[in-house]
Chains A and B, each alone.
With several copies, the nearest count.
Chain A
Amino acid sequence: MDLSLTDQQEMLKQAVDDFVSRDAPIETLIELQQTERGFSDEMWRTAGELGWLGMLIPEEYGGSNTGYTDAGVVFEALGKGPVPGPFFSTVLAGEIIKELGDDAQKENYLTRIANGSLIATLAMAEPDYQWGNAGVQLAPNEEGDDYILNGEKSFVYDGHAADLIITAIRTGSDDNDISLLLVDTSIPGVSARKLEGFTSSESSVTFENARVPKSALLGEVNAVAEGLHVALMRATPLLCAYKVGGAQAVFDLSVQYSRDRVQFGRPIGRFQFVQNHIVQLVIHLDSARWTTYEALWKMDTGRQTEAAIHLAKAVTSDGYRHACDYGHEVHAGTGVVREYGLTLYTRQSRSLFHALGEPRYHRRQLAKLMPTLQLDDE
């Protein structure tokens, strides 16, 4: 038993922290949020150069394959920024290709993901939104060796920036009868628009007579559900780690503000009402942190992970949201001033709340495990 980071992980954490304080201070991130793309290509390149995108990719494809916990450490530090960018989307795409791709696809895509030269994402949901395979209704027409796509994918994270969109299509009537296409976004008929609002990087991707060769199939027709599930589950704790980083930053900001802000002649952190907000905040933070790292550890050590991952996702989604709510209670008016920076986190706590399934979805998956769940020590 050892809950500390390894030396390697401490170095990784330090590297991301240094990067954030040097290249991505909060003022820069506030400005970035106003831009068209919403993130910095330079930051993205740096991440690629420093190897942060290849940590789950085998060495033969240029990755370092150092494991989930290492990657989690990086994602936590990025989330603490919070550094925006298609980091998670691309790593998730890599996991899917690792699971379902043939050798040529792996060679082609994983190599470029590992070195940061490819931005990729997954497109599942559609305007009639629901998370999961049942929500995939976009059915292609077939013409010779091509699929012709017409329709829309909604709430695609980083769709507007992606070079590659792994697009789920309906190819049969059973919920799980879906297939995946590796769609190069430069082909005619594919366009994306960013969805505005209290979102982070969600886009709507439209297909108008987009012609995709069948050779772009990732995995077999109607036989990808299991591989996709595995990849989604494996990637989930990294998203959780990103949220843990955000919640940690909100905690740090709130504690500092409780010291600096004086009202009624005392720092507000001396008032028990304010203390209560921070007490609840740190419970959410630590619940998110430890459920996430236990899930990562279970993945790295080949243990049963299903319950742990669902738990981590439900707890971190709720936890980040509540952490921000408590942060706002501590900060009152100051917290909603954009230049202060708290709302960068609040926005992500909302935007990532439903990503890969809202808390209710994961609790229902957990619920379904109850008849057969085994505790580790039984």
Chain B
Amino acid sequence: MDFAPSYTPEQEAFRKEVRSWLDDHAPVIEGDQDSPENYAKFRQLGRDLGQRGWLRPTAPVEYGGGGMGFEETVVLYEEMSRRDLSIPPYYDSGGWLGGASILVWGSDEQKQSLLPPIFKGDVVTWQLLTGPEAGSDLAGTQTDAVRDGDDYIVNGEKIYVGGSNGVDMLWTLTRTDPEGERHKNLSWFMIPADLPGITIRPMDLLGDGGEGVGSGVKNTVYFDNVRVPAERLVGGENNGWQVATTHLELEHGAGGSVSRNLWFSRALEWARARQLNGRPLVEDSDAQDRLVEIYEKTEIQRLFGIRNFWMNRTHQSMTYEGPQSSYFRKLSGLDITTALHELFGPYALTNDEITDFSEGALDAYQRSAIVALHPGGTADVQKVLMARRIGMGRSEAERYKAGKTVE
């Protein structure tokens, strides 16, 4: 076993190249990570990386990806992480997930036209999955697409969508055969966000005014007789559930990660800097116990992430590992917020400009850990998936095999 990547001289040379490139291009991020200024910097970094194929390092070169191997990709991730950055599809999870599906299910024309803008960082794509009536029950969507000549007419509403920094493309799952068999009556579309009839309205979520840091600005997207060209249908009519399965897998944590949950190192740093009774807080035995709780959760998260990263990139057969990692991350997020609250007391809750030493990060996390229970499938949905894939209560014959790996 080897928990750390090992590198060839070529890969070490690549590391030098990345480092030197980052010296010139890495943005300086200050204050609130989610401020419009910082967003613009991250977005620019994405475009710059995209120019070199480093935005989607493992995607095929012909569509704008990097065509890179496993260890090279790790080098890239490591060098980003060393600067507290990560590969920036985090502001474009819609493109990350949608791109993966198009790569599998798109026609040649679709791949050639839709993928390069995504892989080069030129567009931002939102995923539209949840409807007012269909949350965990994605297949129960009531957004309809009806064929009309060369177009589909789309009507419906999706919620908990996107963010606050604008969008170019929307993909979504629609019902194309309302009377049809469940899971066989859906179609998957990649839709330009500026088509007539599309309205985007911010939701008012956990936080003071909906715009609170970390409360995760989300939108409702309304489709009112939106005419979508049929060429934007990916994977064929009524095959949408299959298409969605590809990206749902990724969203359920199957992609893995080599980076740490930063909350342990942050908490450690603050506990070393702050004082209690004239000594560093970190020397207090209760504070240490809270740090150990956070350490334990984040170490296990990291190990599950590494395992999934390795399994995914080396095409091991995966079953329950993605949703397990996702479930653990969601639930341990709540435990970590509690430990932070006991560790830093009421500072855990405030973003007061004068006294808060975390620049709003602690307050934001107390809220976002709650919000994060739900996107990408609720915690319960992750358990449903694990149960199915482990084959609990299922005979050999009916056991679901999810051995297919995804990018």
B378 touches A332 (CB 8 A): yes
A271, B307: Cα distance in complex, Å: 29
List of 9 A-B pairs having minimum Cβ-Cβ separation, nearest first: A269-B393, A269-B392, A367-B288, A197-B363, A267-B393, A290-B303, A197-B350, A270-B393, A275-B387
Question: Measured between alpha carbons, how far is A294 from B354 in the docked complex, in Å?
Answer: 41
Instruction: Check B403 for interface membership: any CB of A closer than 8 A.
Output: no
| B85 within 8 Å of A (CB atoms) | no
Contact B3 A297 (CB under 8 A): yes
Knowing A1-B4, A263-B134 touch, does A273 contact B272 (C-beta < 8 A)?
no
CB distance from B360 to the nearest CB of A (A): 7
A69 within 8 A of B: yes
Contact flags B365-407 to A (C-beta < 8 A → 1, else 0): 0110011011000111001101100111111000000000000
A residues less than 8 Å from B17 (CB atoms): none
Question: Which residues of chain A from 186 to 203 have any CB-CB distance to chain B below 8 Å in the complex?
Answer: 193, 195-199, 202
Q: Is A15 an interface residue (CB 8 A)?
A: no
Task: Please tell me which stretch of A44-52, A55-63, A105-113, A353-361 contacts chain B, meaning at least 4 of its Cβ atoms lie within 8 angstroms of it.
Answer: A353-361
Q: Are B2 and A2 in contact (CB under 8 A)?
A: yes
Query: Given A333-B159, A367-B292 in contact, is the A325-B334 Cβ separation under 8 Å?
Result: yes
7 contacts across the A-B interface (CB closer than 8 A): A198-B366, A267-B394, A272-B387, A273-B380, A294-B303, A350-B349, A367-B291
Q: B residues touching A (Cβ–Cβ < 8 Å)? A: 1-6, 70-71, 74, 78, 81-82, 130, 133-137, 140, 159-160, 203-210, 260, 264-265, 268, 271-272, 274-277, 280, 282-283, 285-289, 291-292, 295-296, 299-300, 303-304, 306-307, 310-311, 314, 316, 320, 324, 327-328, 334, 338, 341-342, 344-352, 354-356, 360, 363, 366-367, 370-371, 373-374, 378-380, 383-384, 386-387, 390-395
A residues lining the B interface (CB < 8 Å) = 1-6, 33-34, 69, 125, 127-131, 134, 152, 154-155, 193, 195-199, 202, 204, 255, 258-259, 262-264, 266-276, 278-279, 282-283, 286-287, 290-291, 293-294, 296-298, 301, 307, 311, 314-315, 321, 325, 328-329, 332-334, 336-339, 343, 346, 350-351, 353-354, 358-360, 363-364, 366-368, 370-371, 373, 375, 377-378
By the criterion CB–CB under 8 Å, are B292 and A197 in contact? no
- Check B210 against A286 for contact (C-beta < 8 Å): no
Contact indicator B373/A332 (Cβ below 8 Å): yes
Establish whether residues A269 and B394, one from each chain, have CB atoms under 8 Å apart when the complex forms. yes
**B179 CB to nearest chain A CB (Å):** 15
Task: Tell whether, in the assembled complex, residue B135 and residue A263 are in contact, meaning their CB atoms are under 8 Å apart.
Answer: yes
A131, A266, A334, A368: which contacts B345 (Cβ < 8 A)? A131
B276, A278: Cβ atoms closer than 8 Å: no
Chain B residues within 8 Å of A193, by CB: 352
* Cross-interface CB contact of A360 among B286, B349, B391, B394, cutoff 8 Å: B286
| Nearest residue, chain B, Cβ from A283 | B328
Residue in contact with A287 in the complex, picked from B260, B300, B379, CB distance below 8 Å = B300
Known A259-B392, A321-B338, A339-B204: A328·B373 in contact at CB below 8 Å = yes
Instruction: State the Cβ distance, B265 to closest chain A Cβ, in Å.
Output: 6
Determine if A259 and B391 form an interchain contact, defined as CB atoms under 8 angstroms apart.
Answer: yes
Q: Given the complex of chains A and B, what is the CA–CA distance between A141 and B300 in angstroms? A: 49
In the bound assembly, the distance between CA atoms of A184 and B35 in angstroms comes to 40
CB-contact partner of A1 in B71, B206, B328, under 8 A: B71
Separation of A267 and B398 alpha carbons in the complex (Å) = 13
Residues of B within 8 A of A336 (CB): 205-206, 370-371, 374
A354 to B82, CA, bound (A): 35
Cross-chain contact A2 with B360 (CB below 8 angstroms): no
A290, B304: Cβ atoms closer than 8 Å: yes
Which residue of the partner chain B has the closest CB to A4?
B1
> Beyond A366-B295, A367-B291: 13 further Cβ-contacts under 8 Å?
A1-B306, A3-B311, A129-B345, A195-B352, A196-B352, A258-B393, A271-B380, A333-B130, A336-B205, A337-B203, A350-B349, A354-B342, A370-B271
Instruction: Choose one: A3, A155, A287; the contact of B1 (CB below 8 Å).
Output: A3
With most chain A CB atoms within 10 A of its CB, the pick from B296, B346, B378 is B346
Residues of A near B159 (CB, < 8 A) are 333
Q: Are A274 and B140 in contact (CB under 8 A)?
A: no
With A315-B296, A343-B206: A371-B272 Cβ-Cβ less than 8 Å: yes
Q: Is B260 a contact of A196 with CB atoms below 8 Å?
A: no
For B344, the chain A residues whose CB sits under 8 A away are: 129
Given contacts A5-B1, A263-B137, A297-B2, contact A360 B342 (CB under 8 A): yes
Closest beta carbon of chain B to A68's beta carbon, Å: 11
Query: In the complex, what residues of A have CB within 8 A of residue B304's CB?
Result: 286, 290
Known A-B contacts A263-B134, A368-B288; A154 and B295 likewise in contact (beta carbons under 8 Å): no
- B203, A359: Cβ atoms under 8 Å? no
Q: Which residue of B lies closest to A69 (CB)?
A: B1
| Among A134, A193, A202, A373, residue most surrounded by chain B Cβ atoms (within 10 Å) | A373
> Which B residue sits closest to A364, measured CB to CB?
B286
User: B323's closest neighbor in chain A, by CB?
Assistant: A279
B137 pairs with A264, CB closer than 8 A: yes
Known A-B contacts A279-B327, A333-B130; A130 and B299 likewise in contact (beta carbons under 8 Å):
no
Q: Is the CB of B207 within 8 A of A338?
A: yes
Taking a contact as CB atoms under 8 Å apart, the answer to whether B3 and A375 are in contact is no
- By the criterion CB–CB under 8 Å, are B366 and A2 in contact? no
Q: Which of A2, A291, A377 contacts B303 (CB 8 A)?
A: A291
Residues of A within 8 A of B209 (CB): 34
Of the residues B134, B310, B354, contact of A2 by C-beta under 8 Å:
B310
Instruction: Compute how far the CA of A255 lies from the CA of B392 in the bound complex, rounded to whole angstroms.
Output: 6
Asked if residues B345 and A358 are in contact (CB atoms below 8 Å), the reply is yes
Q: Would you call B390 and A278 a contact (CB within 8 A)?
A: yes
State how many angstroms separate the Cβ of B172 from the closest Cβ of chain A. 16
Inter-chain contact A283/B324, CB cutoff 8 Å: yes
Please, how many angstroms separate the alpha-carbon atoms of A64 and B325 in the complex? Answer: 37
- What is the minimal beta-carbon distance from A208 to any residue of chain B, in angstroms? 14
Residue of A nearest to B316 (CB): A4
| Contacting pair A359 B393 (CB below 8 A) | no
Q: Which residues of B contact A127 (CB under 8 A)?
A: 355
Contacts of A129 in B (CB 8 A): 344-347
List chain B residues, Cβ under 8 A from A378: 265
Query: Nearest CB to that of A363 among chain B residues?
Result: B292
Point out which of B264, B286, B390 has the most chain A C-beta atoms below 10 A from its C-beta: B390
Bound complex: CA A69 to CA B352 (Å): 37
Tell me the complex Cα distance, A1–B140, Å.
Answer: 41
Given A329-B373, A350-B349, does the pair A293, B393 have CB atoms closer than 8 Å? no
Interface centre among B2, B78, B285, B345 (most CB of A within 10 A): B345
Interface centre among A2, A152, A346 (most CB of B within 10 A): A2
Partner of A333, one of B275, B349, B374: B374
